[in-house]
Structure formats: structure tokens, C-alpha cells
């Protein structure tokens, strides 16, 4: 059955109008009051691209309600589809680099927010890695594809400098914005565009 975006949006609107989001948020806050260390999230989507997700994120942002994780699952008993999902997760994790990610995190000026959000990202990365390795029965990511693992290792020294340059130009763009320097902003954005293209080409992905 084809995905009907209009129907999904209507369902999301109906869901919100029925007050179910407000009820969920009330429950979340009650959990956090009872146990401040608890992690709360949802909404167990069958499709991670569902329009319900941005609606939930927007509402949580507006009402300043923490959302520690987003959960989703597959409605399928097809082993090929499930395997494809796991393989995609393995590849995404293999391509990720927390050291590079940390450099981007340093752009966040509020130290408390930076450390809290980055801690969540790093912890989730570690949990995801552990989970896919247990599920796949492997000791290392891409253990069954050594040529791809080696390709990523060879690629990283060439793309890492582009990430460093990108972080620097993001800093300069912010500085130009504070100074209301239109010419400086235009230059920074053009150079940032080039670094984005370079990183995407090096990683062979636009994600």
C-alpha cells in the first residue's frame, strides 16, 4: 500500500485535536517529577518519516518538554526488510565520527546545553553500536565487508580537514552576522557550500 501523506497529515491533526499530545506530555512530566533521571520519549512510529514526528518535536519545543529519544519500529515480518534496516544502521554508525561531531558541538555557546545534548548523542551512539553488533552477531562494524571498512578508513583523512574548515567558517559566519557584515556573510556561505559539497562527495552521501 502506497504511503498517503495527506491522510497521514490529517490523522496527525486529528490526533492533536483530540488532546492526546497534551495527555502524553502530562504523563511525561509526571514521570520526570517521580524520577528526574528517567528517560522519556516516543511515539513508537511505524514510519520514522511520519509527519507526526515533526508535530511532536514542535510541540515539545513550544512547551519546553524534554524528549530524550524517539522510538519507531517496523511493521514487517520480511527478513530482507529487517536486514536492510540493520545494514543501514551499521553503515551509518561506521561512517560516523564522534570526534568530528564533538567539534561541531563546540559551536554551541551555552555550555550547559552543549554538554547535556552532546552527552545524549554520544550515549545513544554507543547504545546503537552495541545493539546492532549484538543483533548482527559481529564483533566490529562492517566485519563482513572488510573492503568497505578499509575504504572508510582511507577516506577519513581526506574528509576530516574539510570538516575542520567547515567548523571554522561556521564560526566566522556567526561573527559576520553579529557585525552585520553582509559581504562577509556572503563569502562565508559560499565557502560553506563548497565544504558541504566536498564532504558529501567524500562520504558518498548527502545525508
Q: Are residues 155 and 168 in the same domain?
A: yes
Q: Are residues 207 and 159 in the same domain?
A: yes
Q: Are residues 137 and 152 in the same domain?
A: no
User: Per residue in 155-164, pLDDT tens?
Assistant: 888 888 999 9
Domains in the chain, number: 3
User: Per residue in 173-197, pLDDT tens?
Assistant: 999 999 999 999 999 999 999 998 8
Q: Are residues 1 and 59 in the same domain?
A: yes
Our CA dihedral for 124, 130, 134, 137, rounded to 10 degrees, sits at 130
Q: Are residues 29 and 59 in the same domain?
A: yes
Domain that holds residue 192: 145-207
User: Per residue in 20-42, pLDDT tens?
Assistant: 667 767 777 787 888 888 887 77
Backbone angles phi, psi at 59, to 5 degrees: -65, -45
Which of 53, 73, 93 is where one domain is finished?
73
Question: At residue 102, does pLDDT exceed 70?
Answer: yes
**Percentage of the chain lying above the pLDDT 90 cut:** 28
Amino acid at each position: 500500500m502506497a504511503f498517503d501523506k495527506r491522510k497521514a497529515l490529517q490523522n496527525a491533526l486529528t490526533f492533536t485535536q483530540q488532546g492526546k499530545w497534551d495527555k502524553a506530555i502530562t504523563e511525561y512530566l509526571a514521570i520526570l517529577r517521580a524520577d528526574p533521571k528517567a528517560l522519556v520519549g516516543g511515539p513508537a512510529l511505524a514510519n520514522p518519516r511520519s509527519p507526526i514526528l515533526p508535530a511532536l518535536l514542535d510541540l515539545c519545543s513550544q512547551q519546553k518538554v524534554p524528549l530524550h529519544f524517539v522510538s519507531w519500529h517496523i511493521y514487517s515480518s520480511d527478513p530482507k526488510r529487517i536486514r536492510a534496516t540493520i545494514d543501514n544502521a551499521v553503515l551509518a554508525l561506521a561512517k560516523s565520527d564522534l570526534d568530528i561531531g564533538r567539534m561541531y558541538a563546540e559551536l554551541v555557546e551555552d555550555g550547559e546545553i552543549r554538554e547535556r545534548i552532546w552527552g545524549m548523542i554520544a550515549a545513544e551512539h554507543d547504545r546503537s553500536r552495541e545493539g546492532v553488533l549484538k543483533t548482527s552477531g559481529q564483533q566490529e562494524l562492517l566485519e563482513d565487508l572488510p573492503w568497505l571498512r578499509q575504504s572508510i578508513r582511507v577516506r577519513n583523512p581526506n574528509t576530516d580537514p574539510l570538516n575542520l574548515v567547515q567548523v571554522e567558517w561556521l564560526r566566522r559566519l556567526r561573527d559576520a552576522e553579529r557585525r552585520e557584515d553582509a559581504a562577509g556573510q556572503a563569502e562565508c556561505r559560499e565557502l560553506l557550500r563548497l565544504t558541504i559539497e566536498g564532504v558529501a562527495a567524500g562520504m558518498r552521501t548527502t545525508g
